[in-house]
Amino acid sequence: MAAKNKLTLSVQFADDRLAADLPRALLRRWVQAALLGPAELTLRFVDESEGRTLNRDYREKDYATNVLTFAYGETEDAIVQADIVFCVDVLMREAAERRISSAQHTAHLVVHGVLHAQGYDHEVEDDAEEMEKFETEILARLGIPDPYADISDHKAGKISI
């Protein structure tokens, strides 16, 4: 078993609809699975209004998205620092559309957000393929099915990440 990376984790539920389904230990497990080095992370669960405001103010996109990662780079000690924000409304809607549990979809978005915090991106196709492959491998180790199995929906923009 690989050694766990040092992790300082804060979890905030501004929207608490998923709080009972997402105990801190489970969130920590998902984060730890995607870490490549030490990190100081905050996971924040928000409603659609806050999600939309953050996306509009920081990305100039006037809609709520499922996950936003605010990476602050690494400290001198190579510690990744980031805030990862999950919009509960979007997350729950996407999970229902895909007929999966909100927890399963959250696991995917946690892994996705943590990879973003560590510099992974999906703006160009080659990077997207690499990131998706890595996400799929991490999720498989957690016992979670490939979230990109129906890749036609993802490529057509029906599933936002």
* Confidence class for position 109, pLDDT limits 50, 70, 90: very high
pLDDT at res. 127 = 77
DSSP letter for each residue of 71-105: EEEE-TT--EEEEEEEEHHHHHHHHHHHT--HHHH
β-partners of residue 46 are: 87
What distance, in Å, lies between the first and last C-alpha atoms of the chain? 29
**Full-model pTM:** 0.88
Question: Which residue segments constitute the domains of the chain, with CATH numbers given?
Answer: 7-155 (3.40.390.30)
pLDDT digits (tens, 9 = 90+) for 40-66: 999 999 999 999 999 999 999 999 999
Q: How far apart are CA 1 and CA 76, in angstroms?
A: 28
Inter-helix orientation angle 102-117/125-141, to 10°: 130
Average pLDDT over residues 12-29: 97
